[in-house]
Amino acid sequence: MKEVTIGKYRGLQQISNEKGHITMCALDHRGSLQKMLGKGMGREPSYQDMVDFKLDVCEALSPHASAMLLDPVYGAAQAMAGGVYTRGAGLLVSTEETGYSGDSQARVSRELQGWGVEKIRRMGASGAKLLLYYRPDVEVAAQQRAVVEKLSKDCADQDLAFIVEPVSYAVGNEASDGTFSAAKPEIVIQTAREITPLGVDVLKAEFPVNMTPESDVAEMSEYCKRLSEASVSPWIILSAGVGFEDFVREVEIACKSGASGFLAGRALWQEATSMKSREERRKFFQTTVVDRLRILTAVADAYGAPWQQRVSPTDIVEGWYKAY
């Protein structure tokens, strides 16, 4: 079992529910959300359009989610200052700049300039999150691991929970010839094996299979079990833009195979980006989206592995505070 400091342990408590499951809403999208809103609105969304979307999601979902994942540009401070963030929900804040540097086939994650782990701690958040473009077999993999190690140290210095979201991508002709889909399970599993020992407190993992109606449940379960074995940290599933019904299936399979919950983004709220009025959108969030989150939470609570099965706090003995 992995031991973590008391500050990190408290952070994990804050982003999970009473059953030890992480049932979180992801809303740190920036570039992708701008494109989706722009298409729906028929114009370039303004700063306030972006903020309002996030405020409305937080108002509807924060009473029902174990935590919210927000970005510092449009969401985190705005939601708290706007009075729409429920006291009971944890707060996870992203560290990265949207997009990546380098070639599309050798992607390098970038920290957001003017932002960092120390500021995330100061604003009272429960943890910091890094989106990491990662392929174990590309030249920049070592450079990307160095990004993880740097932020891991920053989080250790601040005693802040550190969540990493590795995202794989196709190289060469893999997307067109189908080889990326075939290789994805081993990429996701190897990524967990390489990344989680670097001071990662929770792995936000891709579902290891591009699921189709014909996908074999036993095979998908086996890949998820191997992912669970490869990770030295608790892990949760990200939605990666799949439809809601597919994501429910993925959460059930993952949780039955060792996952501790989910972090759901577009699978919850993506249809709202095409709605013309804010009133229509808010009603959708407060009804359909809340219901979706409740369904996913019920699945995680029924089948998930509490994160405490993998993590314990360091020993607290008499006089512990002197060395803390």
**What residue segments make up the domains of the chain, in order of their start?**
2-322
Cβ neighbours for 172, distance < 8 A, ≥ 6 positions apart? 105
Distance set, CA 129 to CA 18, 87, 202, 263, 273 (Å): 22, 20, 9, 12, 24
Beta bridge partners of 131: 165
pLDDT in tens, 185-209: 999 999 999 999 999 999 999 999 9
In this predicted structure, which of 92-96, 290-294, 308-312, 318-322 has the lowest mean pLDDT? 318-322
Q: What are phi and psi of 135, to 5 degrees?
A: -130, 120
Give the pLDDT score at 218: 94
Q: What are phi and psi of 182, to 5 degrees?
A: -70, -35
Give the pLDDT score at 212: 80
Looking at domain 2-322, its CATH superfamily turns out to be: Aldolase class I (3.20.20.70)
Q: Residue 165 has what DSSP assignment?
A: E
80-104 mean pLDDT: 88
3-state secondary structure 57-86: HHHHHCCCCCEEEECCCCCHHHHHHCCCCC
Cβ neighbours for 290, distance < 8 A, ≥ 6 positions apart? 60, 61, 64
What's the mean per-residue pLDDT of the chain?
Answer: 94
pTM of the full structure: 0.94
What is the band of 175 on the pLDDT scale with cuts at 50, 70, 90? confident
* Residue 318: strand, helix, or coil: coil
Tell whether the model's pLDDT for residue 146 goes beyond 90.
yes
Q: What is the largest CA-CA distance in the chain?
A: 63
